[in-house]
Each structure stands twice: as structure tokens, then as C-alpha cells.
Structure 1
């Protein structure tokens, strides 16, 4: 029998509405009863999936067998060094390395998966030791290549300890700073490191300046953001001329600059924040490049004098069909990443010459600039993949306009891209909007086929078509895999995002259901299993309530399913920041009732639900463990169908287990459950 959570009456009243939350007691992580209950859920899930042990092991071995375990990334040039990472068979974590630069072309791997003259800068396996969880937050080499800043987390709560290493001597310095956030940036001479810390709501809100060799308690607070809607980050322009302090909410941005050669100076505002205006800044020569949405929903690119940064002159004007995403400045040209028609693109703009876009061979793909730390270069490093093409690294030669393939990730076991095919379909949503779907399958697969449909649809994040080694274990068993590019994501521009957030959030869920139904109606899909994580887990919980009959199973990973209760509590991590994404139910009656109308936990009913697998982590700081725990408890108590399973990692965070072999086993667990849902016989 599955564990049944005790019910403890708890009430809350907002905007005249009183709601009982009988499982609120599960929010107390320090209550021994909570831990006992989570362990009982894990034991039940283990027993309920015991019949899948052979399949799990087979899938794990397939993932492992297709992966080149001893491998090397393509080295990236920075100053006098080539930097790269590598993996070794049998080891959980990557190893960061460098070799001295000789010539323009990346060096080739020697015997044993190493490069001649290698210097190991960080070995994740040595740092992790015997720890059950290990994660890196920062790894940043100083501009002169002498020092390395790195940070580590051994719990999964994404609060890191920052340390520094002298790369010339190999010595780890005495400096140690606990409780820091991701990222950070060096001064020009490598004597000062800037870092951020979070408040109790896990919002990065302070920037500190640390001078190497001094105690952490002498670090200087250089900026604090008091508005709880805003978070901050610190970085360098690509030219390394300026430190960039980025301040942003979900809808508003502000940037401050400081000469990186004057780290003790004060940051100066580029343009003061104005509600609803977002912008980012890069630097080249005597001008700044500014990507902004002031009067330009899909963003436009402007320039501004370094000594008068508030005066913006258009360089690339706004287009309704093209969302400008990012700009990278180089000496002599700049590069713009964009989205159009649901796909990524790259535009090169040479100084004094006509701009052009880089062409790619496949109709469905993802291509983005990647690994370009050198400011003065005639090559553009980019990352490319499709649903049939493994991740590939190219250099694009700006002189010859030629794409030079440097590496394609090996897929062992005889993988041949020509054995698979990818497609683009369009579903029609309830309001007539056409929603793109990316599809991949093995050639010859009999249709309609069992189908895994993936979705996210929040924060303007795009789930772009890409390759996956674990996915082959589904495709080779006759599955179709599809991505629903639903509103709330960023695939089709800023309007696509705006039409799936706040008071239009339900479009995200109905788009996804429309995609599932289209796949069936068009003959692609038989049984459909849906999968999503985090905000995509909210999607899974919502469609479970509104269209349970459309799915043979649902996988919700670290799912944001207790949305209303979470967004009502400003003391919880990230809540205030989230009000610009979802609405503010604490102070806005209309937002309260709208969120309540779709929040998965609030809308569980007594109908028949498909089987559900919810995956969570006890130390998750983004979606707290209690959300899926409460949701599964309510499903089990009030809904029909199922079964409803919960699996909680007791020593991990939002991303689950950290080591690559552990992660493969977790993926094998999930994939074997998905396979089982379409081969299950009705009871």
C-alpha cells in the first residue's frame, strides 16, 4: 500500500477566500515526521518500480555504452593558453585543464585523452572526494591567466564557498568566502575579485569586492539592491575593459559600468532603470553596444559613446519577425544571436561592411555563439546541434565565410544520423494560434507510435531542438519524441512569451494539450507520455487536471505544482521576483483567483488521472521539496487512476544527483518508467 500522509487542518484566507491546506505540515523540513514520510514514499516507489530493474539496467548500459567516457572538449584560446575540460572513464566529474598556446589552431588530443604539456587547473573528482553531492558554481581565470577563482557546493542548496588558486604554483590560497552565489568577475590585473551573495529569499542582492590575500571579513560591499523584485549579477565586457553590474527584474533592467583597471572606483549607470525597459551592454572601442526593448518588443541594437552612455543610436532596428537575443562585440565586428520562425540564427556585422547571416544545412537545428573569450580574432566559435546531429563545435572563418567542423560529440555503438529523421509540425491552439512542434524518430518506426512529449513554456526560455544520447533508448524502442514549443517560452519572440505569462498563463497549458491532440490526430502518436521539469512541472500538473485523458503517463521533475501557496508567501525563495512572471496574488485579487484557477495542487479533482511520477530533491532551493510531496499526497487522497509515485533525492538540489554516472542512472530510472507506461496492460 502507498503511504498516506496525515491530514492536519490548516487554513489561509486571502481576498475573502478561505482555503484549507491539510498537507502544509510537510513544509517543515526539520520535523522528523516529514523525513520519515519522504523515506516511506521512496520505499514505496522503489517497490512499485522493482519490476523495472532489468530494464533500468539495460537503459543505463545503453547510455553508458554510447558515451565516450574518456573525452576532451575542443580547446578555447584565451591569451597565452588553450583551455579545455576532459573526462576519464570511471570518474564522475570533469577535469579542467590548459596548455600553452602555439599557433592559431586548437591542439589535438594525445594518448590517454590528454594534451601534451597539460596543466590541470581543477579536478572535480579530487574536489568532490567521497561527497554524495558536489557542484561547481564558479570557475573563472583572471585576465592575466595567473589565478583561478572557483566555488563549490556539497549539499545542493546552491550556496557556494569561494576559493582561489595560484595557477603558477598550483597552490590553493588561504582565502575562503562561504555563502556566495554563482558567477563573479576579476579586475583587469587579477588582484580583486567581485562576487554576489543572496538574501534569505535566495535573491542575489549584494556585490562584494575581495582583495586577494585579505580576510573575507574585510571584503567591501560595493552595491546592494533593496528592491525585492530585482536581482544582480557581475561580469566583464568581452573587451575586458569594463566590469558590468547587471540589475534586473523580470521586466526591467539597469546596467552600471566600472573601468576594470580601477576596481576601487565606483560603478556608473549607463541609463537609469525605467519600468518595462530591459537592456544589456557590451563594449567595443569608443562605443557601447546596447541591446534593448525600449519601444521595441523584439529588441533592437543601439550604440552609445563610452563617455555619454545614455544617448542611444539605432544600429539594428526592431523587426516583428525577429527576436534579437544577444550581442557579442569583437575587435572589428560584432555578432548578434537571434530567433526567427522558432529557430536560432547568427548574424555577423563587420565594421564598415554589410551584415550577413550564417547558413546551416538542416531545416531544424540550434546554433549559438559559444566559447569566444578572445576579443581580437577572425574566427567565431559556435555550437551546433539538431535532433539527429550530436552536439558539434565549429569555427566560422570570417575571411572565407567557411564553417570548419572542429568536433562532433562521438556516439558509440554504431550511431548513424541517417537512421533517424526529424520533422516540424504545427498544432492549432484553442484561439487559433499555430504552435510549432519538433519531432524526431527512427526511420521505419511504425505509426502511430508511443510518444514522449516534452514541454516547458515559461520565463521566455526556449526548448530548442537538440540531440540526446539517452533519448536513443526510446527511439530505438519505437518511440517518437516531440518538443511542444508552447507560449510562455521564447521560441517565437517576445510576444510568444508575453502571451503565456501573467493573466495569459493558461495559454501555456492549452497549447500543450493542443500539441498532444495534434500528434494523435495527425497519426504520429498513439499513447502520449508528457514530461516537464520545474516550471515545466507546473505545466505537467496543470494538464493533468484539464486533460488527463490525453496522456498515458506524466513525469513531473522538481515540479512547481503548489504555485498559489508559494507565490503568496514572500518569505519563500524567489517569490517576490516571481510576481512579474505570474502575478501578485498577495495584493491583487484578480491575480489570486486566476492563479488559483490553474495551480495544480489547488485543482486536483476526483476524476481519473494517468500514472504520475514526481521527482524531487530535499535541498532544492528553487522548487522546494514540499511542492511535489503535497501534490502527490492530494492526488492519492482525492483523485482516481494513478498510481502516483514520488521519488525524493535526500542529498541533492534542483538539478538532481551531481555525478555523471549517478545522473545516467536517474535518467535510466525515468526512461524505464516512461517505457513501462505504454506497455502496461489495463488492470
Structure 2
């Protein structure tokens, strides 16, 4: 939580009222004289939404909604039109939405989408219509609906559900609709011309797809003016630095507005990106994104490789650019991302097939990707290093227990490795909401399944590769005791003489130390560990790089 400085009058700069305390980052204006904000409970769950009138005491603020179910959390956002605020309550599988008319905050919240278990909705507004993105077990990749503002029960399907295409998000403009989707593991952007605001919405016609330049890439939303025809989006790939484009939705033309400067004579044409597919143990095809120098890679098994993975929470680990990674690529490394089940790269079912009682698919997918890369001579067991953070650290811990012979070195950042113990304790922040991700181990079926893969519970008396584990002393998501416990058990049981390093950052939380140079120092330490494990650190008599 934080304290919010008191607002100032735009004309006189005089402070209006006292600072608000205990406020989360969820904060929006409701007209010119009121604020809507969210506060958290004792386990850091956003649970109450408040209306504050400028100049009044915070103690007199009215609570618009209190979410008492500890598996649900609140969020708050404004519509692109700035006419409505949307307050949503969500768990991992259910999301319902209220709306507040900005010009009439005293009217309070109204239900836009009802609370129905298993139905997940997100909403937007333009003209006389609300736009509703709805997901359910039946429509697992989402459908897009519209309904009149004055009759929210009268819905029209604008984009039907498709099993092979996932609707990720939408963005509304005064004359256009932008739909962000995923197909075959890649993000797409399609724009549609909308009828006049006072005309009925029946169907969408003439969708226009934005074209991209790399075989694998990352696309993101950027702030755009609601009343313009220009869509601004961000773009990068494993070889393309972060860019900002302006796309004219009327003409279909893209204009590069900005590209991040990379020092040191960087030339994107010196690198190659590609997409490969590994076959999982059940026959599922797993996408892999790869980058390497164009001329240095031999593909005879002798090249060093770093393979990254995550595979949880329906999060997409898209292939984006990282300048510090050039330090590895320019030393002849191949870098790859395994887009394993449990993530969201291939749609909702991809996620569903890597959670609960199917969580082990995440780990066996990663192993299958490693075996594929070795088989295709991208690397060898003696040259393969792996990395993952948080839930990706769980992945690293699990595969180390399952196939320690497959890797030369492993980096587990703030790893969620004591799954069973943590998920049995509802007093720990996030635990209750996480039961819909991992399962509730108070139930016998989940208990024994989670115990069968939880890294701490499966350390064995066997040889392990070189391992670096990091933690943050102030981490509210993965307490430092989890990786510390994992390292202690490894030290007690492993039968090899390989390096096992534990670094607990005393001034950081879950996302490492803040600051550009501090993050670079962390990358440098990680890369130095990998280079040492591969015996690639120059000796004192060698030329320094």
C-alpha cells in the first residue's frame, strides 16, 4: 500500500484536502471532484473499492463494494472513452464487472456482467455500446459481444469463438475496434471500421491485419488517442530492439516512430531468429523461439545454449529483445524460449493442459524441447544451460529433479519450489487465490499430485548440474525461505561436486533490485555463472572480452 499525496487545484496549485493512505495503484478520477480507489486486506488482496470526494476526510469515504471471498481480488480501470469506470472482481477462472458512470459517481456501481462461476468477462465502452470479451469452458478462447448501454442484457456476437484463435484483448477508438489475438503461438493485430456511434452494431466487416517483419516477435499496446485513426503499438523480437509504430487504420500504413538505441555497433542483420517445434511425450507440438548469430553457429552440437522457460498462469513468454543478452549471443551462444503448456502462447487450452492435475505437462514439455534441441545439434548436454524465474523457477527445480543429466547448468530465480507447504498455508499472501492455479492441497487428490513434483519434496541423492538460486529478502510472492530450503536440501543430498550457489538479495523483492545498473549487474552475475560452468571464463593470461 502507499500514501497518495493530496490533489492540487490546477489553477492555484493549492492542496485540496489531506493525503489518502493505504491506497493501492488502482486509482481513477470520477469526474472533477471525486476519486475511486482500492485498498487491500491483511494478505495483500485488493478487496475494497472506495469513493472519495475531494476536500472531505478519508474516514467519510463510501465503500462502493467489498469482495469478501478470499479467492477473488478487485481491479479498477477507465474506459477508453473516459465516460465509465469498470470495477472487476476476479479469481483465476471467474471475472465479473460493475460500471460507474463518471458524470454520476453518486449513483454508485451497477452490474454489467453478473457473477457466474467459470465465466470470465472484460469490458470496454464506445458510444451507445459496451463491448464484452467473454470466456467460458465452452468458449475457452473468448468471444466478443456488444450490448446497448441502456439494455445490457441485449447482447450481439461481434466475433464468435474460434478453437484455433484466442482473443487476447481489444482496444476501442471513436471509429475503430482493434482486436489483439493469438494464432499458432504468435500475436496478431486486426483493425475494424465501426459504424457511427448512434447506429446499431450487428457484425464486423473488413478486418485489416497488421503485418510484422520477424518470424517470432512481441507486440504490445501503447497509449493511443481515442478520437484518432492512429493505432500506436510497441514491437520487438529476439533480434529487433523495442520499437514504437504508428499504424494508420484508414490506410493500413505503419510508420516507425522510435527504436531503442543499442550501443556497441549493434546490427540486427547479424542475428537470425526462427521458430521450431518439439514433440512432447503425448505427441503435442511445442513451439520454440530461437536466436543466434548468423555466422558463428555451427549446429554440430558444440555451440553453447541457454534455454528459458516459464509455463504458468496463462502468461505468454513472447520472444522480445534484451540488450544484455547480446553478451551471450556474441560469445557464440544460442538463446531459446520453450513455449510450454501452462503458459498462454497457444490459447486457453494450452494453459488448461498445464495446470492442476496436468501440471507435469509443463515439465515434460520443457524436457522434450531440451531433447529436441540436442537431437537437432543446436547444443549437447555438456553445453545446455537452463533458466526460469518465479513459477519458472518451479519449472527449473522440477526438471532438475527429473532429468539432472540433461543440463550443464541451471539458474532458478526467486523460485516457487516449496509448493506443497506454501499452498497449505492460507495466511501467506496470494495462497487462497492460487488454489485455482495449482489446486488446493487440503484435498487428498491435489496433495499427493503436488507432492509428486514439488521440487523441495523431490530432491534425491543423485548428481545435479551446476545450480545458481536467487532470492529476495522482501519478496511477498515467494518468501526467501523457499529457495533457501531448496538449496539446503540439495547441499545435504546431492552426490556431485558441481557448484551450488545461493544469493539472497537483502534489498529486493520479487523482481530483483530496481535501477538500470543494478539489473545489469544481476544479468552479469548470471551470465558469469553460466560461462564459468561451461569453462568459458578467460584465464588471467587471456585477452579479456
Q: TM-score, normalised by structure 1?
A: 0.74
**CA distance, structure 1, for counterparts of residue 439 and residue 414 of structure 2:** 21
Partner of 2:398: 542
Partner of 1:394: 245
**CA distance, structure 2, for counterparts of residue 242 and residue 433 of structure 1:** 43
Is 1:197 paired with 2:39? yes
> What is the CA-CA distance between 1:661 and the residue it aligns to?
1.4
Q: Is the 8 A contact 2:176 2:229 kept in 1?
A: no
> What is the CA-CA distance between 1:210 and the residue it aligns to?
2.4
Q: Secondary structure at the match of 2:369?
A: helix
- The one of 187, 190, 208 equivalent to 1:356 is 208
Partner of 1:473: 327
Partner of 2:198: none
**CA distance, structure 1, for counterparts of residue 160 and residue 255 of structure 2:** 31
Q: Which has the higher contact order (CA 8 A, sep 6+)?
A: 1
**CA distance, structure 2, for counterparts of residue 552 and residue 183 of structure 1:** 44
> What is the CA-CA distance between 1:164 and the residue it aligns to?
4.2
Q: Is the 8 A contact 1:345 1:368 kept in 2?
A: no
Partner of 2:435: 579
**CA distance, structure 1, for counterparts of residue 154 and residue 484 of structure 2:** 52
**CA distance, structure 1, for counterparts of residue 354 and residue 470 of structure 2:** 25
**CA distance, structure 2, for counterparts of residue 173 and residue 389 of structure 1:** 46
Partner of 2:493: 638
Q: TM-score, normalised by structure 2?
A: 0.93
Structure 1: 4+ residue segments shifted above 4 A:
167-174
Is 1:279 paired with 2:134? no
- The one of 213, 216, 221 equivalent to 1:369 is 221
**CA distance, structure 1, for counterparts of residue 192 and residue 130 of structure 2:** 15
Q: Which digits, 9 at most, give the CA deviation of each residue in 1:392-448, with x for residues without a partner?
A: 000001222100100011111110000000111111111111100000001122333
Q: Is the 8 A contact 2:214 2:273 kept in 1?
A: no
**CA distance, structure 2, for counterparts of residue 414 and residue 250 of structure 1:** 45
> What is the CA-CA distance between 1:171 and the residue it aligns to?
6.8
> What is the CA-CA distance between 1:524 and the residue it aligns to?
0.6
Q: Which digits, 9 at most, give the CA deviation of each residue in 1:224-278, with x for residues without a partner?
A: 1011111001111111111100111000010000101122221111121111110
Please list, as runs of the form range in 1=range in 2, the aligned pairs for 1:238-257 lying within 5 A after superposition: 238-257=80-99
Partner of 1:312: 155
Q: Is the 8 A contact 1:601 1:634 kept in 2?
A: yes
Is 1:262 paired with 2:113? no
Partner of 2:384: 528
**CA distance, structure 1, for counterparts of residue 426 and residue 436 of structure 2:** 13
Q: Secondary structure at the match of 1:466?
A: coil
**CA distance, structure 2, for counterparts of residue 456 and residue 170 of structure 1:** 47
Partner of 1:661: 517
> What is the CA-CA distance between 1:179 and the residue it aligns to?
3.0
Partner of 1:441: 292
**CA distance, structure 2, for counterparts of residue 202 and residue 296 of structure 1:** 32
Partner of 1:404: 255
> What is the CA-CA distance between 1:645 and the residue it aligns to?
1.4
* RMSD of Structure 2 on Structure 1 (CA): 1.6
> What is the CA-CA distance between 1:528 and the residue it aligns to?
1.1
- The one of 306, 314, 335 equivalent to 1:452 is 306
Q: Which digits, 9 at most, give the CA deviation of each residue in 1:440-483, with x for residues without a partner?
A: 00112233311111110000000001111010000001110000
Number of aligned residues: 520
> What is the CA-CA distance between 1:173 and the residue it aligns to?
6.3
Q: Secondary structure at the match of 1:609?
A: coil
Q: Secondary structure at the match of 2:534?
A: helix
Q: Secondary structure at the match of 2:449?
A: helix
Gaps of 5+ in 1: 1-158
Partner of 1:4: none
- The one of 176, 189, 194 equivalent to 2:19 is 176
Q: Is the 8 A contact 2:94 2:119 kept in 1?
A: yes
Structure-2 change in CA distance of 1:515 and 1:173 (3 Å): farther
Q: Is the 8 A contact 1:559 1:628 kept in 2?
A: yes
Q: Is the 8 A contact 1:188 1:240 kept in 2?
A: no
Partner of 1:46: none
Q: Is the 8 A contact 2:119 2:135 kept in 1?
A: yes
> What is the CA-CA distance between 1:168 and the residue it aligns to?
5.7
Is 1:322 paired with 2:165? yes
Structure-2 change in CA distance of 1:404 and 1:645 (3 Å): same
Q: Which digits, 9 at most, give the CA deviation of each residue in 1:293-351, with x for residues without a partner?
A: 14311101011111121332110011111000101111111111000011000010111
Q: Is the 8 A contact 2:93 2:118 kept in 1?
A: yes
Q: Secondary structure at the match of 2:153?
A: coil
Q: Is the 8 A contact 1:252 1:278 kept in 2?
A: yes
> What is the CA-CA distance between 1:666 and the residue it aligns to?
1.6
Q: Secondary structure at the match of 1:423?
A: strand
Partner of 1:186: 29
Q: Secondary structure at the match of 1:570?
A: coil
**CA distance, structure 2, for counterparts of residue 539 and residue 173 of structure 1:** 50
Q: Secondary structure at the match of 2:370?
A: helix
Partner of 1:610: 465
Q: Is the 8 A contact 2:17 2:54 kept in 1?
A: no
Please list, as runs of the form range in 1=range in 2, the aligned pairs for 1:406-425 lying within 5 A after superposition: 406-425=257-276
Structure-2 change in CA distance of 1:169 and 1:416 (3 Å): farther
**CA distance, structure 1, for counterparts of residue 59 and residue 502 of structure 2:** 43
> What is the CA-CA distance between 1:193 and the residue it aligns to?
1.8
Structure-2 change in CA distance of 1:674 and 1:183 (3 Å): farther
Q: Is the 8 A contact 1:346 1:368 kept in 2?
A: no
Structure-2 change in CA distance of 1:453 and 1:172 (3 Å): farther
Partner of 1:381: 232
**CA distance, structure 1, for counterparts of residue 449 and residue 504 of structure 2:** 30
Structure-2 change in CA distance of 1:377 and 1:592 (3 Å): same
- The one of 287, 293, 296 equivalent to 2:139 is 296
**CA distance, structure 1, for counterparts of residue 64 and residue 152 of structure 2:** 21
